[in-house]
Amino acid sequence: MKYMSTRDNWQESESREVIRLGMVPEGGLFVPSKFPAISLEELKTGLSYKDCAYKIMNKYLTDYDDYELKDIITRSYGSNFTSPDIAPLYKYDDITGFLELWHGPTAAFKDMALQCMPRLLIHALHPFKESVKVMILVATSGDTGKAALEGFKNMGGTRIITFYPEEGVSIIQKQQMVTTNGMNTRAVGVKGNFDDCQTAVKKSFQDKNLRAKAKQKGYIFSSANSINWGRLVPQIAYYFWAYLQMANSRIIRIGDQVNICVPTGNFGNILASYYAYKMGLPVRRFICASNKNNILTDFINTGDYNVKRTFHTTVSPSMDILISSNLERLIFDLLEQDGKRVCDYYDRLKQEQSFTMDPRPINVMQKLFYGGYAGEEDTFNMIADVFNKKGYMLDTHTAVGFYVLKNYREITKDMTPALLTATANPYKFPAAVYYALTKEKVLDDFKALKLLTQKTGIPVPRSLLDIETRDVTNRDVINIEDIRTYIEQNL
């Protein structure tokens, strides 16, 4: 399996190299040059999560040895997850399943990929093992940061710095990051929003001078952001897994089409579902759910991608994003792998902060994708509604997804059985969820967490149990302009 750049500016490469590099050094993202097919017969319903993951990932990571990949997967999806199913399906009703992707060590779906990706990366470095260390640079809107810190914690030959918006993450998210107790981990608050962080980190990657300095000290840079192929490939697997679970729960029969609804930020999770579809998963429609930062809703409805808009801080902070990096991969595919055209769009985006896609790919996109968004009140109401009906607690992000799914069904009358990805455990955002259920404002997340447990009786995941009292190991807060210097000083 070969990988190419979305901007036609890099030679075809194997998966190890692609994972090692993170993104194309000249700009652009790595994508598979073609999609391997898998038939549903190859995936029996009795399969374990690990077996399912192996069958999918093996088709992409062809330059990893079989035993090596099996070992990586076994270590990635074990007792570090609190459910033996790794990602269990909750049957909401006869046509709706929620795929709970939050049973990993940080209680958000990023663990699904980030328990695995560091191992893929270490193995990708094998040929260079003696001499090269990796410096992982992460820009995070909250959940990636902690998941990456946990994934790389104390892993030999690596260091990791995560940059998070000081004002843009929840108190629990911040506490999770700053209490990470790894020898090789740093979590740094940045005065700016997520897009500022992401842009600055991307710039550092492309900074030749900085890379030369790193090299002198024996480091190469890599990324744990969802632009890294090593993040995406484990995510494709759980869409097949979910499909099998939907069949087990009798929401569908094998072969039936499903709709897939994903609360979306950087477009990684939903892109993985699209890649599953490209491999043969029977999907009718992808429902892309946004919060008030609804740039993707507008893009899907009009083909205009326009960043000139107000950035909103919402109760679903992991989706507070205007520049959805992985969208570039979808666009590349919609343009039938025309990297030059992708370059045109992204040059325009850089210069004018907007671009408009051509009519033909817009048509293709609109047949497959539906875009919608939920406001803050919609999100709160959805959480309350589901709790009152089923005693099931949604987190703020999943609630955005469910609201948009319900809207989609009302507007289109398309009642195809749907899968909704539940992307975080609600106790990660306790103040917002508690407010949704009681209309009481509790400013202190830790207090809200306790109140929420008392109110619902639903157990707190073990990773959040003693969160308040853990030792803070990182206190750095810096300006956006100082990101480069900070990286340099930490080499």
Ligand X SMILES: *Cc1c(COP(=O)(O)O)cnc(C)c1O
Measured between alpha carbons, how far is 454 from 448 in angstroms, rounded to an integer? 10
110 lines the binding site for ligand X (CB under 6 A): yes
The rounded distance, in Å, linking the Cα atoms of 12 and 7 is: 12
- The residues facing 93 across adjacent strands are 96
99 scored as a contact of ligand X (CB under 6 A): no
Q: d(Cα 338, Cα 23) in Å, to the nearest integer?
A: 18
Told to check if 320 binds ligand X by CB under 6 A, we report no
CB of 317 to ligand X, least distance (A): 9
Quote the CA–CA distance of 19 and 301 in Å, as a whole number.
33
Residue 110 among the catalytic residues: yes
Distance CA 440, CA 451 (A): 11
Binding to ligand X by residue 268, rule CB under 6 A? yes
Q: Which of 23, 43, 56, 108 binds ligand X (CB under 6 A)?
A: 108
| Smallest separation, CB 13 to ligand X (Å) | 23
Residue 330 found at the interface with ligand X (CB under 6 A): no
Q: Does 193 bind ligand X (CB under 6 A)?
A: no
Residues in 17-46 that interact with ligand X by CB under 6 A = none
Q: What Cα–Cα distance (Å) separates residue 441 from each residue in 431, 436, 448?
A: 7, 9, 9
> Closest approach of Cβ 429 to ligand X, in Å?
8
Q: Is 265 in the site for ligand X (CB under 6 A)?
A: yes
**Of 237 and 252, CB closest to ligand X:** 237
Q: Which is nearer to ligand X, 222 or 269 (CB)?
A: 269
Answer yes or no whether residue 463 interacts with ligand X by CB under 6 A. Answer: no
The region that residue 374 occupies, defined by phi over 0 for left and psi between -120 and 50 for alpha, beta otherwise, is beta
**How far apart, in whole angstroms, are the C-alpha atoms of residue 56 and residue 300?**
28
Q: Is 318 in the site for ligand X (CB under 6 A)?
A: yes
User: In the set 7, 174, 397, 406, which binds ligand X (CB under 6 A)?
Assistant: 397
Taking CB under 6 A as the binding criterion, the range among 190-198, 209-217, 240-248, 258-266 that sits at the site for ligand X is 258-266
- Three-state DSSP at 398 gives helix
Among 111, 143, 328, 333, binds ligand X (CB under 6 A): 143
Query: Where does this chain touch ligand X (CB under 6 A) — which range of 20-28, 54-62, 257-265, 295-303?
Result: 257-265
Nearest C-alpha neighbor of 365 from the set 356, 374, 377, 353: 356
Tell me the CA end-to-end span of the chain in Å, nearest whole number.
34
Strand pairing class (96-100; 418-422):
parallel
SS3 labels along 11-27: CCECHHHHHHHCCCCCC
| Residue found by looking up tokens 């030999």 in the block | 156
Residues 2, 34, 55, 110: which is the catalytic one? 110
**Is position 223 an interface residue for ligand X (rule: CB under 6 A)?**
no
Question: One-letter amino acid identity for 257?
Answer: Q
CB of residue 347 vs ligand X: minimum separation in angstroms? 24
Among positions 175, 204, 259, 423, the unique one binding ligand X when judged by CB under 6 A: 423
CB of 173 to ligand X, least distance (A): 9
In this structure, what DSSP letter does residue 375 have? -
Q: Please state, as a whole number, how many other Cβ atoms lie within 10 Å of the Cβ of residue 59.
A: 18
- Pick the closer one to ligand X by CB: 185 or 226: 226
The pairing of beta strand 96-100 with beta strand 133-139: unpaired
Asked if 165 touches ligand X (CB under 6 A), the answer is no
Q: How many residues bind ligand X (CB under 6 A)?
A: 18
In whole angstroms, the minimum distance from the beta carbon of 228 to ligand X comes to 12
Q: Which of 263, 339, 426, 430 binds ligand X (CB under 6 A)?
A: 263
Burial group, residue 290, by CB count within 10 angstroms (0-12, 13-18, 19+):
buried
- The residues that touch ligand X, with contacts defined as CB under 6 A, are 108-110, 143, 226, 263-270, 318-319, 397, 423-424
Catalytic residues: 110
